Amino acid sequence: MLSLGKLASLLPSLPEAAESQLLNLKYARAEIRAVVTLVKNLPQLLSCATSEMSLREQYFFFQDVGSLFPVLAVMAVAEGISMDAVTPMINRYLSSDDQVAHPQPLVTGKDLMQALSLPASRRVGELLTEIQIARIEGKVDSREAALEFAKQVISNKGSSQEL
């Protein structure tokens, strides 16, 4: 994995340009995806030095980088970010029970469809994401609370929590 980080550091900082170069060099699709993910997310991790990411931003960040986070952390330190700035993110990643870096859902899409009489759709996935974010923000902590939260999101869909 560190070789992917080295490769990413040699490529342009624009994900599209990096992908184009890797395609021209005939790299495998999996390697290209990994390197483009690194190139795309490095600036966001580097920004931790100046401003902390919200829980919501951290959740989507970890969802996007997944198992590539250790490589990204090494790249960020190599780029000059202080260890103090990246340590909170490293601690989240290393803690297997951290709901931001390693979410464990309270409910499944099937649970939502059955409890709320919803058809299978993209909306179910969006509800699952909102429930997980509510969980990491401390708004829900049980299956029942998650289902109630989902009902509220659906009933408020015309307001600020539009799906």
Q: Do 72 and 39 meet the contact criterion of CB atoms below 8 Å apart? A: no
Residue 103: inside a domain: no
Q: Do 2 and 71 meet the contact criterion of CB atoms below 8 Å apart? A: yes
Residue 41: inside a domain: yes
Asked if pLDDT for residue 74 goes beyond 60, the answer is yes
Residues 6+ apart with CB under 8 A from 150: 107, 112, 115, 116, 127, 130, 131
Q: What is the mean pLDDT of residues 133-143?
A: 94
- Which residue range(s) make up the domain with 124? 109-155
32 with 82, same domain: the answer is yes
Asked if pLDDT for residue 155 goes beyond 90, the answer is no
The 10s digit of each residue's pLDDT in 7-56 is 999 999 999 999 999 999 999 999 999 999 999 999 999 998 888 899 99
16 with 86, same domain: the answer is yes
43 with 113, same domain: the answer is no
Rounded to an integer, what distance in angstroms lies between the CA atom of residue 27 and that of residue 133? 36
Task: List b or e across 128-143, with b for residues whose CB sees 16 or more CB atoms inside 10 angstroms.
Answer: bbbbbbbbbeeebeee
Percentage with pLDDT > 90 across the chain: 88
Residues 6+ apart with CB under 8 A from 18: 8, 11, 12, 35, 36, 39
Asked if pLDDT for residue 160 goes beyond 50, the answer is no
Q: What is the mean pLDDT of residues 125-147?
A: 94
69 with 19, same domain: the answer is yes
Q: How confident is the model at residue 159 (pLDDT cuts 50, 70, 90)?
A: very low
Nearest Cα to Cα of residue 1 among 82, 101, 75, 61 = 75
Average pLDDT, the chain: 92
Examine the fold and report which residue of 94, 120, 139 is the final residue of a domain before the chain moves on: 94
24 with 73, same domain: the answer is yes
